[in-house]
């Protein structure tokens, strides 16, 4: 089984990514690290624990990490993810706020990368702050980590950002951190909006979960997300973070190519833009494997089938 750490800012689609990772039964989840992002860190930690509890999992530990970006002010997305970050969908689930893993998230990442050299996959579905702190403290993790599969940015669909015209939320939320990670030498696969905006979970898909453990949760939690995308004429909500898990489970879901990619950190208009040098005008070595195409139907079926695994 692939050894993974999930780094999350739970968030509705983060919650779905956690369930997908669990129910795939194909990943050895060493721990989940929480980072400030969609909502403040204490919400992220609580939501993550609630999702694990809802899944009946009481063994995976949650490690708290950065409670703010490296340099900028925090930017949250309550409007998209609801008042509590998961669409008020697990109000009846109570968790122990004091029971988090004893290590700081970045230290947990370093420790596990050192123990499992060449074997550890980091699935990053929030801002890159925890990983940036880890690589700053222990740059050798760049050689120890097998791969970083990271949801963030947009590379070819410029102008179709979701925070600024050219910026995607996870990178925008901490562009300095993303820049450190991109320049760290870590082997990065970037699952950007270019492909995640082709993966929509519609009501028809959700109906296929009827009679299973997760039907109510998926229906309720995605309500505000679906309303958000449906207002622009799209049927369903984008599965950004679950796709990132999907790419780890089955890399053949996407086509990829390696390029030099950098992150804009200075501009007001395009802070957090991921700039891909397709024509190699900068003459720099490729540092990021980007996704250029996706088999979206196969992915959605994989996702639904995994969640359907749990009848009760
Ligand atoms: C990303 O931003 C967050 O709102 C989602 O959870 C996802 O990780 C999409 O831009
Ligand atoms: Ca996320």
What is the 270 CA–ligand 1 centroid distance (Å)? 17
d(CA 211, CA 195): 30
Give residue-wise pLDDT tens across range 118-154. Answer: 999 999 999 999 999 999 999 999 999 999 999 999 9
Q: Report domain extents, the chain.
A: 2-308
Give residue-wise pLDDT tens across range 249-258. Answer: 999 999 999 9
Give residue-wise pLDDT tens across range 178-208. Answer: 999 999 999 999 999 999 999 999 999 999 9
Ligand closest to the CA atom of residue 79: 1
13 pocket-lining for ligand 1 (C-beta < 6 Å):
yes
Give residue-wise pLDDT tens across range 206-230. Answer: 999 999 999 999 999 998 888 878 8
Residue 126: closest CA among 38, 60, 65, 46: 38
274 pocket-lining for ligand 1 (C-beta < 6 Å):
no
Average pLDDT taken over every residue of the chain: 95
- What's the pLDDT score for residue 100? 72
Q: Which atom of ligand 1 is nearest to the CA of 238?
A: 9
d(CA 236, CA 205): 9
- What's the pLDDT score for residue 80? 78
Ligand 2 ion: nearby residues, β-carbon < 5 Å:
9, 11, 14, 125-126, 241
d(CA 150, CA 122): 8
Active site residue 240: yes
Give residue-wise pLDDT tens across range 19-43. Answer: 999 999 999 999 999 999 999 999 9
The CATH architecture that domain 2-308 belongs to is Alpha-Beta Complex (3.90)
What is the 173 CA–ligand 1 centroid distance (Å)? 10
Residues 45-74 as b/e (b if ≥16 CB within 10 A, e otherwise) read bbbbbbbbebbeeeebbbbbbbeebbebeb
Burial class (CB in 10 A: 0-12, 13-18, 19+), 215: middle
Give residue-wise pLDDT tens across range 74-124. Answer: 989 888 777 888 988 898 998 988 777 789 999 999 999 999 999 999 999
Strand 27-34 and strand 2-8: the pairing is parallel
């Amino acid at each position: 089984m692939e050894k993974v750490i999930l780094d999350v800012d739970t968030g509705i689609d983060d919650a779905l990514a956690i369930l997908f990772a669990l129910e795939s039964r194909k990943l050895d989840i060493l721990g989940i690290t929480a980072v400030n992002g969609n909502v403040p860190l204490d919400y992220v930690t609580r939501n993550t624990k609630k999702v694990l509890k809802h899944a009946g999992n009481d063994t995976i530990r949650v490690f708290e990490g950065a409670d703010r970006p490296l340099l900028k002010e925090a930017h949250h997305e309550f409007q998209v993810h609801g008042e509590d970050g998961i669409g008020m969908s697990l109000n009846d689930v109570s968790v122990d706020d004091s029971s988090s893993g004893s290590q700081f998230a970045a230290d947990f990442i370093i420790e596990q990368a050192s123990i499992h050299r060449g074997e550890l996959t980091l699935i990053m579905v929030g801002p890159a702050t925890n990983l940036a702190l880890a690589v700053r403290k222990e740059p050798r993790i760049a050689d120890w980590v097998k791969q970083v599969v990271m949801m963030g940015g947009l590379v070819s669909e410029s102008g179709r950002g979701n925070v600024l015209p050219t910026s995607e939320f996870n990178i925008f939320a901490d562009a300095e951190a993303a820049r450190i990670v991109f320049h760290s030498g870590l082997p990065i696969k970037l699952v950007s909006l270019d492909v995640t905006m082709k993966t929509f979970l519609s009501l028809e898909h959700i109906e296929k979960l009827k009679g299973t453990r997760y039907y109510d949760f998926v229906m309720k939690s995605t309500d505000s997300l679906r309303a958000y995308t449906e207002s622009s004429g799209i049927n369903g909500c984008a599965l950004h973070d679950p796709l990132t898990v999907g790419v780890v489970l089955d890399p053949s879901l996407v086509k990829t190519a390696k390029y030099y990619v950098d992150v804009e950190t200075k501009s007001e208009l395009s802070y957090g833009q991921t700039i891909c040098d397709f024509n190699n005008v900068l003459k720099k070595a490729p540092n990021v494997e980007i996704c250029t195409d996706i088999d979206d139907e196969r992915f959605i079926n994989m996702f639904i089938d995994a969640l359907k695994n749990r009848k009760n």
